[in-house]
């Protein structure tokens, strides 16, 4: 099959020091045929401070142009971006995505809503001391997902289970109490020809995805990308064999890659 890693970072993201060349070589070693670099464009920082509403494409574009034809016939290198909390300013996001070279956009929510303070979900979830606080993080998160799914500034919804990565495991929280609302979000994405990603988070979250993937598939969802969210070469394509096994078991028939924001369906 034509294996792709559609979510990873380089030094153009503030939380990675990897070069695109290092990430690409790691992908080739893992049997990947196509990658899409998705560096961060966050509209909020962890403290809730507003960040640039104009994305500086200079470095990511230069890096990609230099390397896109480096591995002909071996590795296809595509350009994407991961927009964090684009719901804050949809018009600015749409303007920032008007780049002819851009193939793919992940719409993620890394921070709480402005009404909840806008702090990073990573920070807030780690600081939760009571189960109800954790549930409030999820409530706020699902509300933002409902907003995000309606907009234009994404092709796939990024790591839908994101808060579950960071909430204290002893709270035993999951998205079940919000299942009907989540189903509506997935139905809406599918109806618009958009999709979701299966984000293996450097190989740590494969099993956490089973229920969401099953729900999405049962609702007729077909547009699915696979990404490791690698911030370093050792995590490129992490846990992809297990992820593929799960994707097939749930009933998906394709993995998607993108050309100019349009999905191409690759048979599994």
Binding of Zn ion at residue 85 (CB under 5 A)? no
Shortest separation between residue 203's beta carbon and Zn ion, angstroms: 14
Binding of Zn ion at residue 5 (CB under 5 A)? no
In the region spanning residues 99 to 118, those forming contacts with Zn ion, defined by CB under 5 A, are: 108
* DSSP H helices in the chain: 20-29, 58-67, 90-96, 121-127, 131-148, 162-166, 179-191, 210-218, 240-250
Contact 33, 226 (CB under 8 A): no
Helices 58-67, 20-29: crossing angle, 10 deg rounding:
50
Separation of alpha carbons 103 and 112, rounded Å:
27
Measured from the CB atom, the residue of 230 and 268 that comes closer to Zn ion is 230
Measured from the CB atom, the residue of 108 and 225 that comes closer to Zn ion is 108
Give the interface segment with Zn ion, choosing from 45-53, 57-65, 79-87, 209-217 (CB under 5 A): 79-87
Give the interface segment with Zn ion, choosing from 93-101, 113-121, 184-192, 227-235 (CB under 5 A): 227-235
- Sign of the four-CA dihedral 181, 177, 179, 139: positive
Measured from the CB atom, the residue of 80 and 134 that comes closer to Zn ion is 80
Binding of Zn ion at residue 229 (CB under 5 A)? yes
Shortest separation between residue 251's beta carbon and Zn ion, angstroms: 26
How is residue 255 written in tokens?
């993995």
106: part of which helix (H) or strand (E)? strand 104-108
Give Cβ neighbours of residue 191 (< 8 Å, ≥ 6 apart).
none
Measured from the CB atom, the residue of 9 and 33 that comes closer to Zn ion is 9
Contact 36, 6 (CB under 8 A): yes
Shortest separation between residue 130's beta carbon and Zn ion, angstroms: 26
Shortest separation between residue 158's beta carbon and Zn ion, angstroms: 5
From residue 186 to residue 225, the character string flagging contacts with Zn ion as x (rule: CB under 5 A) and all else as - is: ----------------------------------------
Measured from the CB atom, the residue of 13 and 253 that comes closer to Zn ion is 13
Shortest separation between residue 180's beta carbon and Zn ion, angstroms: 25
Measured from the CB atom, the residue of 8 and 57 that comes closer to Zn ion is 8
For residue 179, the Cα-to-chain-centroid distance in whole angstroms is 20
Smallest CA-to-CA distance from 55 within 111, 85, 15, 97 is with 97
Measured from the CB atom, the residue of 3 and 81 that comes closer to Zn ion is 81
Binding interface with Zn ion (CB under 5 A): 82, 108, 229
């Amino acid at each position: 099959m034509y294996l792709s890693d559609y979510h990873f970072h380089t030094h153009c993201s503030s939380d990675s020091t990897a070069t695109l060349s290092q990430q690409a070589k790691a992908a080739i070693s893992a049997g990947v045929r196509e990658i899409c670099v998705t560096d961060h464009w966050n509209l909020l920082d962890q403290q809730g401070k507003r960040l640039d509403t104009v994305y500086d494409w200079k470095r990511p574009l230069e890096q990609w142009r230099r390397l896109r034809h480096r591995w002909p016939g071996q590795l296809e290198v595509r350009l994407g971006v991961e927009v964090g909390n684009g719901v804050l300013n949809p018009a600015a996001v749409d303007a920032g995505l008007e780049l002819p070279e851009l193939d793919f956009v992940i719409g993620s929510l890394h921070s709480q809503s402005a009404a909840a303070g806008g702090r990073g979900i990573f920070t807030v979830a780690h600081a939760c001391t009571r189960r109800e606080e954790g549930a409030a993080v999820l409530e706020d998160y699902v509300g933002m997902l409902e907003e995000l799914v309606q907009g234009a500034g994404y092709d796939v919804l990024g790591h839908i289970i994101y808060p579950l990565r960071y909430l204290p495991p002893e709270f035993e929280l999951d998205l079940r109490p919000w299942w009907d609302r989540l189903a509506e979000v997935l139905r809406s994405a599918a109806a618009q020809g958009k999709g979701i990603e299966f984000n293996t988070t450097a190989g740590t979250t494969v099993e956490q995805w089973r229920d969401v993937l099953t729900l999405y598939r049962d609702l007729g969802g077909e547009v699915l990308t696979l990404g490791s969210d690698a911030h370093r070469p050792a995590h490129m394509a992490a846990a992809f064999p297990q992820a593929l096994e799960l994707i097939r078991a749930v009933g998906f028939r394709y993995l998607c890659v993108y050309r100019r924001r349009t999905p191409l369906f690759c048979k599994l």
